[in-house]
Amino acid sequence: MKILGIETSCDETAAALVTDNREILANVVHSQLEEHAPYGGIVPEIAARAHIEALDGIIAETMRRAGIGFDELDGVAATGGPGLIGGVIVGVMTAKGIAAARDIAFLAINHLEGHALTVRLTDALAFPYLLLLVSGGHTQLLIVEGVGAYRRIGTTIDDAVGEAFDKTAKMLGLGYPGGPAVELTGKTGDARRFALPRPMKGRPGSDFSFSGLKTAVRRTIENLPPGPASYQDAADICASFQEAVSEVIADRTKNAIANFRHSYPNGSGLVVAGGVAANNLLRATLEQVAAQENMLFIAPPQALCTDNGAMIAWAGIERLRLGLVDTLDFAPRPRWPLDPDAPKAAFAGVKA
């Protein structure tokens, strides 16, 4: 089985060709970073236009690298949400066009399901497992029970963790995206110089909160001597920030493991995905937590952790194998929770 996957929900225009024996025949990602960099964040309208301009070429390049023609495809999968709606529409319409023209299956994929199932493409991990999804838009802990069967046991009550990295970088003038810049700058920093808060640490449950940490970073910067922060100041703030984030995530993840084990006493996998999973301190911390709890720890390779078409193609394969095909009247969804029945986060009323 061969599926073309299309991802356009954020600032990457991506396509990939994946087979049901877990082979990635081609995986092409075009980042729009340069288009958004002058604005210090993603501008939805610019993203949608950039997807329109790039997508046909990215798909052609994917088919060329895979060395196959459209007539060899069994299906075409596209991110159907959640995400920036302009971009999602571009990917969905393109996928529907190909599916209609070639009379092949069309699959609308939940972007989060793409992240959640990636580890089955890379490592053939069996269900159930525990997933920590940490990106620019999401911070969630999910029990992945099967295709289409997700139990959310923790989420952020305010900002996503990637957003906190990006805002910290912006406040320090380190550029966008912030995560890699904060990590690099923090390398030579003293994580003990600034006492930043550990929001939610020690509380029951597995929800997160990062807006207070962001505010504390802002105050710390304001309390520095006047003028631009010195490199050492920035390094110490970045190191302190990363340590606070890692400690909080470790604490929330430990609670999630207990919750997971309650339902699945023999459940053994902790998986981390999303752009923030690139962070080395976070990875090392999670590895330790997993070891303490006798959990297998898996972080898919970075190129498959950040947004890509292969994860969408793979989710398409998992769904097509189960006959879960979509019809061409599927409407793109700006919001699409993986677990619609999840209880609201503690103190909710805010984004999930």
Which of ligand KG4, Zn ion, none has residue 27 at its interface (CB below 5 to 8 Å by kind)? none
Give me the half-sphere count of Cα atoms (radius 13 Å) on the Cβ side of residue 306. 21
CB of 190 to Zn ion, least distance (A): 32
- The Cα-based distances of 249 to 45, 140, 305 in angstroms read 33, 10, 17
Q: In b/e form, how buried is each residue of 22-50, taking b as 16+ CB within 10 angstroms?
A: eebbbbbbbebeebbeeeeebbeebbbbb
CB of 307 to ligand KG4, least distance (A): 5
CA distances from 53 to 8, 59, 90 (A): 12, 12, 10
Q: Are 105 and 76 in contact (CB under 8 A)?
A: yes
Applying CB under 6 A, the residues found at the interface with ligand KG4 are 10, 135-137, 162, 165-166, 177-180, 183, 274-276, 278-279, 306-307
Closer to ligand KG4 by CB, 130 or 299: give it: 299
Structure tokens at 60: 């052609």
Closest to ligand KG4 by CB, 168 vs 220, is 168
Whether 13 and 50 have beta carbons less than 8 Å apart is answered as: yes
* Binding partner of residue 178 among Zn ion, ligand KG4, none, CB cut-off 5 to 8 Å per kind: ligand KG4
Residues paired with residue 30 on neighbouring β-strands, in sequence order: 13
Cβ distance to Zn ion smaller for residue 77 or 171: 77
- Least distance CB 92 / ligand KG4 (angstroms): 17
CB-nearer residue toward ligand KG4: 75 or 189 = 189
Residue 177 binding partner per list ligand KG4, Zn ion, none, with a CB distance cut-off of 5 to 8 Å that depends on partner kind = ligand KG4
Rank residues 293 and 339 by Cβ distance to ligand KG4 and give the closer one.
339
**332 binds, options Zn ion, ligand KG4, none, Cβ within 5 to 8 A by partner type:** none
Q: Shortest gap between Cβ of 191 and ligand KG4 (angstroms)?
A: 15
CB of 146 to Zn ion, least distance (A): 21
Rank residues 112 and 196 by Cβ distance to Zn ion and give the closer one: 112
Closest CA to 106 of 120, 93, 121, 88: 93
Q: Scanning the structure block, which residue is given the tokens 């700058």?
A: 185
Interface residue list for Zn ion (CB under 5 A): 135, 307
Token pair listed for 233: 């100041």
- Cis peptide before 82, with omega less than 30 degrees from 0? yes
User: At closest approach, how far in Å is the CB of 274 from Zn ion?
Assistant: 6
Instruction: Answer for the pair 307, 28: CB distance below 8 angstroms, yes or no.
Output: no
Q: Which residue is nearest to Zn ion (CB)?
A: 307
In whole angstroms, how close is the CB of 148 to ligand KG4 at the nearest point?
21
82 binds, among Zn ion, ligand KG4, none (CB under 5 to 8 A by kind): none
